[in-house]
Amino acid sequence: MSHATPLPVSPLPVSIVARGPLRGDVTLPGDKSISHRALMFASLAVGRSRIEGLLEGEDVLATAAAMRAMGATIERDSDGVWQVDGVGVGGLLQPVQALDMGNSGTSTRLLMGLVASHPITATFIGDASLSSRPMGRVIEPLTQMGADITASPGGRLPLMLRGLTPAVPVEYTLPVASAQVKSAVLLAGLNTPGITRVIEPVPTRDHSERMLAGFGAELTVEEGPDGRIISIRGEAELQPQDIQVPGDPSSAAFWLVAGSIVPGSHITIRNACMNPTRTGLLQVLRMMGADITDTSARTVGGEPVADLVVRHAPLTAIEVPADIAPSMIDEYPILFVAAACATGRTVARGAHELRVKESDRIATMAAALTAIGVSVTEHDDGLSIDGSGGARLPGGAQVASKLDHRIAMSMAVAGLVARAPICIDDANPVATSYPAFFETLDALVRATD
């Protein structure tokens, strides 16, 4: 299989030192999951959609580039509003070159679903981190629908997908809790005659269902004996929309923990998405004793939103309920940092999915925390962490981010409560989801200088 190889980027080491309390307001970047979907669905609508608050990180820009390559017109106005002229369901064009997904697993898996039911062939490539992540969980249902997929060994990128039209509608039960797999099957079903159904035994984030219904897809969600049943009628005609993207709760997570563990901190986080499938970390931090209040509850773009106020408070170790995992799967790395500062031993398990994220987040965080002097026990599905009881962490080590943005940001937060600097070997991946992270951190510290 011929493909282009993405150019390597020189590492960007960053050293973080404790600098006092964090105070001020945080304006969150747009939610990454919703931003991806807004671009994709607008590209499949007939007419012009308008998107405000889009996350302009590298992952979302990879989605925009891929949709342009398949025929959509996507432009950013000078005021930061994005205009998308869609090609209609069934109207995707053959891309001339390989689709470079960078570090974005969401882009890759959802776009595989879109291509699967269109009469085009697309080659997906990505960076070293993405190319190490298995795609078999998406390949399986899309193959059942008729797509012809040739992947690299282990079901990895580079990968070539030949879509089939008409594709075959399926009823697919998710073997693992994955919103990406669910969404990929639903998106393939958009251009498939008849009804495509996904059964999820464990509920996952429901942004695809909410937004597809908003664009006019005929979609139903009901409870069945084996879990939630999401059904979508194919050969849909999506209508253009004006979309407001709320703030990303996964980005808010870093400030929720930083505000909780750095003495004297008082942070207000504006416009955070409060979708109940995304608030697991908030629940867990409150169980640990965090002082977090939500105010100004409202609805933005069909999603519940609020402002969150976090103040420093002593945290107490807990056993994290395993059934919360799907609603906080991206937040486990920063939860591990909170646990490192709590009193007692925190046990956080039930998160097998962490093994196949941008890095093996269980092993990577275990290694990073151990390097800075935290006592950690690694399990196949999580970590047990002995907390410092609120005392500063030892620090004084270099840690490996493994090309994972959430590892880099989590260890940056750990550096705020370390006795000696923590050096992160490469902060470049932070740009995939939160380009202004370090700038925001500096502003929160400066507010108390």
Q: What per-residue confidence (pLDDT) applies to 2?
A: 42
Is 330 labelled a binding residue? Answer: yes
Q: Is 180 annotated as a binding residue?
A: yes
Identify the burial level of 154 via C-beta atoms within 10 angstroms of its C-beta, where 0-12 means exposed, 13-18 middle and 19 or more buried. exposed
pLDDT tens figures, 206-238: 999 999 999 999 999 999 999 999 999 999 999
Instruction: Report the pLDDT value the prediction gives residue 352, as an integer from 0 to 100.
Output: 87
Q: DSSP alpha helices (H): ranges in 88-161?
A: 105-116, 128-131, 136-144
Consult the annotation and say whether 228 binds a ligand: no
- Residues 66-80, buried b or exposed e (16+ Cβ, 10 A)? bbbbbbbebeeeeee
Domain with CATH 3.65.10.10 in the chain: 14-30+246-446, 32-235
Residue 117 annotated as binding site = no
Fold designation for 32-235: UDP-n-acetylglucosamine1-carboxyvinyl-transferase; Chain (3.65.10)
Per the annotation, does 37 bind a ligand?
yes
CATH architecture, range 14-30+246-446: Alpha-beta prism (3.65)
Q: What is the pTM of this model?
A: 0.88
Q: Please tell me the predicted confidence (pLDDT) of residue 446.
A: 85
Taking only Cα atoms into account, the Rg of the chain, rounded to an integer number of angstroms, comes to 21
For the chain (449 residues), the mean pLDDT of every run of 10, in chain order, is 55 93 96 96 98 95 98 97 98 97 95 98 94 94 98 97 97 94 98 98 93 96 96 97 96 98 98 95 98 94 92 98 90 97 96 83 96 97 97 97 95 98 96 94 84
**357 carries a ligand binding annotation:** yes
In angstroms, rounded to a whole number, what is the distance separating the alpha carbons of residues 305 and 147? 38
**Of the residues 330, 360, 381, 425, which is catalytic?**
330
Name every residue whose Cβ is closer than 8 Å to that of residue 136 and which is 6 or more positions away in sequence. Answer: 151, 154, 155
pLDDT for residue 301: 75
Q: Is 156 annotated as a binding residue?
A: no
First to last CA, the chain: 56
Determine whether 330 is an active site residue.
yes
